[in-house]
Copies of this chain bind each other. A is one copy, B any other.
C-alpha cells in the first residue's frame, strides 16, 4: 500500500505546483491604472493586517492546545484499566506535532488563497474590460489556486503521517489542527465581513445615500477585505476541514474492520482523494466561457465534468484494484447526492424559482412579511438536503453491510469521502465568487467605465449562484462527515475494550442529546450578536468621520479606512473567545462529567440541529439576498419602492445568517466531533457518571 501513499504525496505536490503556476500566471496579468492599484492596495493591506492578527491568535491557541495534547497523550492509560495500548509517552509529542502540522497546512492554503485573491480582484476588473472571458479566467484561476493548494497540502499531510506512523489516529490530530484553524478562520472571518458589510450599508446607503462600494464610505475597504477573509480564507479552511475529517473518519472505520484486507481499505479513502485531485486538475481545464457564454454555466459544467472524470477513475480503481463493489456504490451515491443537494439549494435561492419570487412579491406588504416568508422557505429548504443525507446514509450502509467484506459504517464514511473528493473543483468555483465581487467593487471605486461594471456584474451574479450550490454541497458533505466521525468515535472507544451504548432509551444519552442540540443555536446566537455589536461600534466610527471631516462626503478628502479595518479585525477576533471555548470545552465537559455514552448523545444532538440550522440560515440568507436583487431588476416597483426597502431589510437580516452563523456551524460540529474522538480514550478512562 505504500506505493499509493507515495502516489498520494506526488499528486499533492503536483496540485500545489499547479496552484503556484496559476498564482504566477495571475500575477503576470495587467494590474491596471494607478488608481485601481491604489484601491486594491488598501484591500490587500487590510487583509494582511487581519491575517497577521488571526495568525497570532491562532499561534497562541495552537501552542496551548498542542501543549495539552502533548501532556494528555503522554500518560500511559493502560494502567488505568482502559485496555488502551496505543497511548504511550511517545505519542503525546507525535499527536501535538500532527495537530500543529494540520493547523499550519490549513493556514498556508488559506494564506495562498488570500494572497492571490487580493491580487486577482483588480486584475480581473482590468481583464473584464478586455473581454468577459478574460475577466472570468483570471478570477477562476485565482480561485483554483486556493482549491488546488488546499487539497494538495491536505493529501501531503495525511499520506506522509500515515506513511510515518501507520496509525490513522494520529491523522485525527492533524484533522483537529485543521479544524481548530477553520473554526477561528470561518467564524472570525464571518463576523468580520458582516460587521463591515452591515455598517457600511446602514450608514452609507441608508443614512447618507451614497451607493455601494463608494470610496467616500470609510468602511468600504473593510467591507471588501471582509469578502476575502470571510469568503475566501474562511470557506477554504471550512472545506479543508471537512475534507480531512471525512478522510480520517473513513480510515478509522476501515482500520476498525476485522480481516486481512483491513489495511487496503484503510488506505482506500486516501486513494479516492488522490483521484479526486487528478479529476479536479482535469476538470479545471474545461471551465471556459465563450464570447456570448454564461459564466454560471461554465462553472456548473466544470463541476459536472469533474464528477464524471472522477466517477470513471473510481470505476477503474475498484475493478482493477480488486476492491469490493460496494465501495464504488458508496462513493458514487455520496458524489451524486452531494451534487444533487447542491443543485436543489439553487431552487430555494435562485430568482428563477418560486421561493425567491414569492418572497419578492410579498415584500410590497412590508419587511415583516419578507422576513416571515423567507424564513419559512428557509425552513422548507431543509427537506431535500435531509432526504439526500438520509438516502446516502442508508444506501451506503446497507450496500456495504450486504457485501460481507466491509462494514456498513465504513460505507457511510466512504460516501462522505466520495462527496468531498472533488473539493479541489468545488473550492475553485467557490473562491471565484468573492474575487469577482471585489473586482466589481474596485471597478466602482476606481471609477472605471460603466460597461466594465456591467460585465463585472455578470461575473458577480454567477458567483452568487455558484456560492449557493457549493454551500449546499458543503453542508451536506459536512453532515455525512460528522456522521462518519460519530461512528468512528464509538469505534475508537470500543477498540479500548469499553462498550458504548448511545441508546435514546438512556436518560444520560437523552440529556447529552438535549445539551448537544442546543449548542449550534447558542453558537449562532453568540456569533450573530457579535456582528450586531461590532457593527454598532463601526457605525459610530463612520458617523464620527463624516462629522469630523465634511470633505469626505464631498469626495475631496480620503476617509480613514484603516481605523474601520482595525475595528473590524479587533472586534471579530475578540468575539471568538467564547464560541471557541464552547466548541472545544462543551464536549469535554459533557464527556468528563456525564461519560462517553452521554457524549455520544451530545454529538448526535449537535449534528442534528447543526445541520438543520446551517441549512436554514444559509438558504434563507441566500434567498433574501436574491429576492432583493430580483426586485432591483425592476420587479414590484424596482429600486426605491416599498418592496425594495423591505428587500434590503431582508437581505441585511440574511447577511449574518448566511455568512456568519450558518457556515460556521459545519466547522463547529466537525470540531466537536474531532475533540470527542481525539479525547475519547481519555474520557473513557475518566468520567464522573
Instruction: Please report A residues at the B interface, Cβ cutoff 8 Å.
Output: 198, 202, 206, 362, 365-369, 371-373, 375-380, 382-383, 386, 389-390, 393-394, 397-398, 408-409, 412, 483, 486-487, 490, 500-505, 507-511, 513-515, 517-518, 521-522, 524-526, 528-529, 531-532, 535-536, 539, 600-601, 604-605, 608-609, 611-612, 616, 648-650, 652-653, 656
Contacts and interface: CB of A to CB of B under 8 A. Distances in A.
A616 to B, nearest CB: 7
Contact of A528 (B375, B483, B501): B375
A514 B611 CA distance: 9
Given A372-B656, A524-B379, A528-B372, A513 B366 contact: no
A501 B365 CA distance: 50
Contact of A382 (B206, B378, B518, B656): B518
Contacts of A522: 379-380, 382-383
Contacts of A398: 507
Contacts of A367: 367, 649
User: Would you call the interface of chain A mostly helix, strand, loop, or mixed?
Assistant: helix
Contact of A509 (B382, B504, B525, B609): B504
A393 B649 contact: no
Contacts of A408: 507
B397 A507 contact: yes
A228 B209 CA distance: 46
A198 B368 CA distance: 9
Contacts of A505: 487, 490, 500, 502, 600
B373 A609 contact: no
Given A394-B511, A504-B600, A376 B609 contact: no
B206 A372 contact: no
Given A487-B505, A502-B505, A503-B503, A376 B524 contact: yes
B656 A521 contact: no
Contacts of A393: 507, 510-511, 514
A426 B235 CA distance: 49
Contacts of A652: 366, 368-369
Contacts of A608: 513-514, 517, 605, 608-609
B376 A528 contact: yes
Contact of A371 (B371, B386, B536): B371
Contacts of A648: 368
Contact of A502 (B390, B409, B503): B503
B536 A510 contact: no
A525 B206 CA distance: 31
A92 to B, nearest CB: 30
Contact of A525 (B379, B513, B524, B656): B379
Nearest to A603: B504
A409 B510 CA distance: 12
A536 B379 CA distance: 20
Contact of A372 (B380, B412, B526, B653): B653
Contacts of A198: 368-369
Contacts of A535: 365, 369
Given A367-B649, A371-B653, A382-B521, 18 more contacts: A365-B539, A369-B532, A372-B656, A373-B532, A376-B529, A383-B518, A386-B514, A390-B511, A394-B508, A486-B504, A502-B503, A503-B503, A504-B601, A504-B604, A517-B608, A521-B616, A605-B608, A609-B612
Contact of A515 (B366, B373, B386): B386
